Structure 1
Amino acid sequence: VALAEDHYARTYGQAPAPPGAGIRERLERILDGSLARLEAFYGLPSRGPDTGGTAGLKARTMAARAAAMDRVFHSPARWKGMSPLERGLARRTAAEAFFLDRHQQLVDLGEYLDPAYAGSEGSETSPDRLIEIAQNLWDLANRLEGGDIASRCRDFRKDVVLRVGAPVDASRREGEGSRTAARRVLSDLHRAFEDLASKHSAQ
């Protein structure tokens, strides 16, 4: 976090969190600054720090991602209608958006990092959770270096466990509206998943 603060301060003139701030608060300041870089580049309205709802960090991240993809990918009709110079400019803009997307990926990963997830000091944290935290930290450092998912660390062994729960009836019942049916099915799925998860944790 200290290295990221120093980088954003030197490169973008972004002030770090005030002295005495916790790691999560310092990280949130970095994430907000990263999004601000993208919003300025794409001409998006910056809503400032996460305030929840549509103005939350996730909404800002998705808006920046959509703006990047709009510059990287072009429909065949749009591409065909461009002059050679316009295509050259489009390629340049796509290259800029491609590398600027590392800011968005940094925010996407940084959302998951919270010291509280590791448990309170002195508590016993499960090995799976420690591995998850280590992987997320590695991913964050990788994005700061300009890397992407293709160069992700594969040192941690992964095992797939497939568990099948009871079937859920997804058909619409007589007299039931589509929205009511959708809410019921989602509720049944959630309940079945929680039941399956609780049985697994009890083993």
Structure 2
Amino acid sequence: MNEFEWVVFFLFIQLIHFLGTWKLYISAGERPWKAIIPIYNAIIFLKILHRPKWWVLLLFLPVINLMIFMVLWVDTVKHFGKTSPIDGVIAILTLGFFIYTINYQKSPKYLVDKSMIKRSAFNEWIGSIIFAVIAATFVHNYFFQPYIIPTGSLEKSLLIGDFLFVSKFHYGARVPSTTLAFPMVHDTLPIIKSRSYLKKPQLPYMRFPK
């Protein structure tokens, strides 16, 4: 995808967000136009969901943002009255489009107080796992990654099967080249031995810090 296509894709995502949440903004005491302004809408929606504003940064980190989206989908249905575990599962399986059914209710009910949201042991357990995966993926993608030496090309210093950690931060962490990948694996899924990522859409080659 070129830059123009990425801009179109980004604006399309904003439109999807607006169409699926504008009444939720109203129920939460916000103006509906805030749902269409890029980035600002994310800040406001995070406030509605009682999440920290700095999470906006996570929405722009490939792979990690997909997991954050799942957390936000579940948070959204909870904050608007759908508090059972199955509702959260449906929100994820429908890629967030379940939220549309809430948005287009006659009058969506916003749970202002976070304590009003019913919490189950299952939800807490799943939430803990998701956040652990997010944290581990962030470290894995941008700071250091474990490797096992696969060949004998470095035999004078490293042997086949040697296990080591490689710092990505020191020479610049590479932003994942694809936005869709299985977290915490290197190119290939274990056991089934298939590719752990999709080739499209592709991101430009970039490292930071350079």
Is TM-score (shorter-chain normalized) higher than 0.5? no
Question: As a proportion of its length, which structure holds more strand?
Answer: 2
Asked which structure has the greater CA Rg, the reply is: 1
